[in-house]
Structure 1
């Protein structure tokens, strides 16, 4: 299953942040969340950055409504916020009654429906691993459980034809659903499996067993998915069925990725030496890396 390691060399675009996550390319700029400075940033990819929102309860997933307003996950208070044209934030939906852990990554589809993951347990506090749900928030703010029994649902992509693929970090797999016209999910199946799924609730044991820990993901125009492997300092280009087509070493931890740039062929990577909060919060070692690839962006986000 191991691909030929590429000779592509990532370059540094931004540095000096706490823990960058959830990159989204829109209208010539990359949007990012920086967890422990509570900022949402944008950059043109040429070295400059602007803070466009402050989220006191920690920003994570990002997306956009059909009218262009940004949706921002507020992790710790289980809320989904909307940013208006003046940059002000207000509540779009309260997910506290539907989730069992901090909110996480998010995908917003072309109709403005948001699919939001959550940790399911206190990862940073050392609780036993517990599987959890994926939540759908409709444009009117209605909150519905979309899927259950997911092993730390993380990054997501929506492929052409209405296939939602979810990264299950602690299950070591990508899982696909067909999206019905009303937003409900059907036809659950494994899109790519990376080794055996750990059969343990002990985080340390699970981490040791995972061959790939899929975190943030993005899709390209050939229907392949780029996967940030949160445990092995790399991104992988994966075809449905699990074939790894390319591996790009980053030289540091990589926790999310996004295709963007003028031609959609710049693969941006959110990088840091590790992911535990107690290691990342007090320092500013996170970087945004970039590398040029052959196949441009496809699907959503």
Structure 2
């Protein structure tokens, strides 16, 4: 495992997630600052939106309007051209816990995950459904029985949805049909045996990796943030680990590829993901390191 010399793009935030490279800037959500921000390559920051319900996943409609997951009220928000926020969809009938990360396809369909249970309260793990939100705001169940569906990606041809399952030691894949519905779940990568039990105290020690946010590259591999391993992994389809980058004492919870040629790996780092700790200290940062293979697909 390598521990390269990282560059710090920004620091002093609460908990940064959902990194997206868009219009030559890095877009991010800070859960507990309750802001969506955009950061230029030199570290200049613009506040894009204030989201009282705690922002997470980000994506864009074909007309350029921003979609934002609002976690605690389980809504998908849409930023209008004047900067105001409107409710694009209510996810409460599908989401069994906080709404979380998502990916938006080129037709404007959003695939939105959720926790499935109250993670921060330490209650037993429950599986979650993945929501599909059509451009008109219609909400449907796209897939069921996922173990904390997290970072989601769409291949460059638009034919496959890839979903990190944080508590299942696996990355799953689904064929995307012409109408946006999904085929059956299949293993894209298996990182270890399926953990047994429902209590987090017994599930987490069985995790070989906890895939959180992720991004595809041009060779078809996935860079993922290992939420329990203080590392980013580059994983091939099937599960072979191609590269491993240590973040030392810092945890890493999301990543994306950006920069001029999409060959900069941006990592969302913080000491841990415990809500009470993250709300109490501005210890989150974005670290950057150059890689050989550029990003591809969505987001």
TM-score range, shorter chain: over 0.9
Q: Report the Cα offset of residue 12 of structure 1.
A: 1.0
SS of match in other structure, 2:120: coil
Q: Which residue of 1 aligns with 2:33?
A: 37
Q: Which residue of 2 aligns with 1:136?
A: 132
Q: Which residue of 2 aligns with 1:236?
A: 233
Q: Does 1:199 align with 2:196?
A: yes
Q: Which residue of 1 aligns with 2:289?
A: 291
Q: Does 1:97 align with 2:93?
A: yes
RMSD of aligned C-alpha atoms? 0.9
Q: Report the Cα offset of residue 7 of structure 1.
A: 5.2
Q: Which residue of 2 aligns with 1:54?
A: 50
Pairing of 1:260-299 with structure 2 (within 5 A): 260-299=258-297
Contact kept in structure 1, 2:94 and 2:130, CA below 8 Å: no
Aligned length: 297
Pairing of 1:237-256 with structure 2 (within 5 A): 237-251=234-248, 252-256=250-254
Residue from 173, 176, 192 that aligns with 2:173: 176
Structure 1, unaligned runs of 5 or more: none
Separation in structure 1 between the aligned mates of residue 65 and residue 4 of structure 2, nearest angstrom: 35
Deviation beyond 3 Å, 4+ runs, structure 1:
none
Q: Report the Cα offset of residue 199 of structure 1.
A: 1.1
- What whole-Å deviation, never above 9, does each CA across 1:101-153 have from its counterpart, x for those lacking one? 11000100000000000101000011100111000000000000000000000
Q: Which residue of 2 aligns with 1:153?
A: 149
- What whole-Å deviation, never above 9, does each CA across 1:192-240 have from its counterpart, x for those lacking one? 1111111110101111110100000000111111010000111011100
Q: Report the Cα offset of residue 53 of structure 1.
A: 0.2
Q: Which residue of 1 aligns with 2:160?
A: 163
SS of match in other structure, 1:124: helix
Give the TM-score normalised by structure 2: 0.98
Q: Which moved more, 1:259-268 or 1:80-89?
A: 80-89
Separation in structure 2 between the aligned mates of residue 149 and residue 84 of structure 1, nearest angstrom: 34
Q: Which residue of 2 aligns with 1:258?
A: 256
Q: Does 1:65 align with 2:61?
A: yes
Structure 2, unaligned runs of 5 or more: none
SS of match in other structure, 2:185: strand
